[in-house]
Amino acid sequence: MGVKYIQPVSAGSAKGLVAEVYSQIKQEFGSLVEPFTLHSPIPNLLAGAWMAARESQLAGNVRRDLKEAVAAAVSRINQCPYCIDAHTIMLKAIGKHKASQAITDGRIDQISDFKMYSIIRWASATRSPGSEPLLSPPFSREEEPEIIGTAVFYHYINRMVTILLTETPLPSSRSWLKKPLKKLASLLFSQAVRRVIPQGESLRFLPEADLPPDLSWSKHVPTIAKAFARFASTIDSVGIQALSPEVREIIQKQVDAWKGEDVGLSRSWTEQKIRGISEASQAAGRLTLLTVFAPNQVDNEIILDFRTHFPEDEKLLGALAWASFTAARKIGTWLQQPFSKE
């Protein structure tokens, strides 16, 4: 259990911005959970990640169970067991036990709620640009920023969690214990998931920023647009601090050409992409390429190689966050409805 490779700020020692964000997370999410606290070595990054999640997933007018289903379905296609457990627990907390189990089992055809089924089918296709569910999305223009925002955030956070957290938020990963543990965990969140979260109250944590064109799907809900603009600006800053221009250029070039496909089990392809650059940049390039395309393949060896050259927690966290959000932003460009591009 716990965060790997970096040391997050504990609740007891949190000060300033970290303490303020922690307080809002605990009050509104229901618990100070590790997918947020892992960002705390960089306070602005913590604030940006929280506000992107809060304003799209927790606040707004779209049913919370639909957005939890998006989070769980995206986590399933990204093979992030921690996030699958976390968000099927949240579905149980809302009372959507059948949908929770159907996503866990990968049998969404058993879901009778047509809106729920359609949203999960759409979320499960978010790695497949041009696919039929994406071309005919089951939500309105008004719902788009909340649903796409939730999907984009989980394509980001799945990568961070896969690398930095253990396999489940539960006390045990044993299959026979999971069902009763999930039931108990859902009871802990049953009040928080029904709380009405006012829009925009996280925006005070970071200064205003311009919305990049590739995040234009968010513009019809100003609070979501402002949250993702601030998050994107923060990510850009930590990326510049953590990674050399040549590494960022390599990653951006590969992401620009990506169509959602898997890279397979071999890591040899990474060596072709980083040939000819310095040893330190090669270590950063391996880490960030795998973070984008195969986060499950980031292991102790890859982390140790990076930390040999960049020992600070802030460097590791910044590199992972920049790579993860670069991938998530690309996926977001596949999800926009035709009217969003007008």
For residue 325, what are the CA distances in angstroms to 49, 72, 126, 156, 292?
10, 18, 15, 5, 9
**Is 80 tagged catalytic?**
no
Catalytic residue among 74, 83, 119, 160: 83
Whether the Cβ atoms of residue 317 and residue 45 lie closer than 8 Å to each other = yes
Residue owning tokens 């309105």: 140
Contacts 24+ apart (CB under 8 A), 86-89: 86/33, 86/35, 86/169, 88/182, 89/169, 89/182, 89/185, 89/186, 89/189
- Which tokens go with 222? 């100003």
Separation CA 221–CA 143 (nearest Å)? 9
For residue 40, what are the CA distances in angstroms to 9, 82, 123?
6, 19, 28
> Which element (helix H / strand E) includes 280?
helix 279-293
Separation CA 129–CA 61 (nearest Å)? 27
In sequence order, what DSSP letters do the residues of 154-181 get, joined into one string? HHHHHHHHHHHB-S-SSS---HHHHHHH
- One-letter amino acid at 201 equals E
Separation CA 96–CA 74 (nearest Å)? 17
Angle between helices 245-257 and 279-293 (to 10 degrees): 30
- Which tokens go with 259? 């169509």
* Residues paired with 165 in a beta bridge: 3
Angle between helices 64-77 and 114-123 (to 10 degrees): 40
For residue 33, what are the CA distances in angstroms to 37, 46, 56, 158, 161?
6, 12, 18, 14, 11
Catalytic residues: 83
